[in-house]
Amino acid sequence: MLEKFTVIRGRAVPLRGEDIDTDRILPARFMKVLTFEGLGQYLFYDERFDEKGNPKPHPLNDPRYRGATILLVESGFGSGSSREHAPQAIKRAGFKAIIGESFAEIFFGNATAIGLPCVSLAPEDLGVLFRSVEENPELEVEIDLVNKEVRFGDRTAPLSIREEAREALVEGLWDPIGELLEAGALLDEFDRKLPYPRRAE
């Protein structure tokens, strides 16, 4: 049974920057793995560490945000290469959800399919959230996917997310490949109609 995402609660880490691409989220040289285990340590590696491996100033290296489980981003997050490794690294670094202004299409799809909700706020609400978290890293943020809102301090902001994705997350039906594989006989039936090489051959 997959996890049902209804309300996600936690502290947040503010990561500013427009159009942050998947090569920054997870540099390609760390993709030489068979499973996604341990990818969390390479999250934003070249932004967080210099060429000798010494930490650079970065929100993810900032002790005030240690243990945060919600990633705050700006617009166009996750552009570039479609790589599952990018949302996997975010998830495996301990994040449960991402709040931003907008997400690259494919990144959004990849994240949703591994159970990492990406929700959008209007620029004004997002701005207030960024400033609130930067002023008070202990601030508790709540993402409510049922009532479609983000709550923090005394503020409630409406969130947006593609409705099919929201339903899938809330109902625990966010793994389409898993569902597909469970279709069994239906798959074989479809397979027989295809003009190109079939699974059985």
Q: Convert residues 58-87 into a mask of x (bound to other proteins by CB under 8 A) and - (unbound).
A: -----------------xx--xxxx-----
Give yes or no for residue 102 binding other proteins (CB under 8 A). Answer: yes
Give yes or no for residue 51 binding other proteins (CB under 8 A). Answer: yes
Give yes or no for residue 48 binding other proteins (CB under 8 A). Answer: no
Give yes or no for residue 27 binding other proteins (CB under 8 A). Answer: yes
Instruction: Name the one range near other proteins by CB under 8 A: 27-35, 111-119, 139-147, 173-181.
Output: 27-35
CB atoms within 10 A of CB 7: 11
Which residue, 32 or 184, is less far from other proteins as judged by CB? 32
Which residue, 11 or 22, is less far from other proteins as judged by CB? 22
Residues 144-183 that bind other proteins (CB under 8 A): none
Which residue, 5 or 103, is less far from other proteins as judged by CB? 103
Contacting positions for other proteins (CB under 8 A): 17-19, 21, 23-24, 27-29, 31-32, 46, 51, 75-76, 79-82, 102-106, 195-197
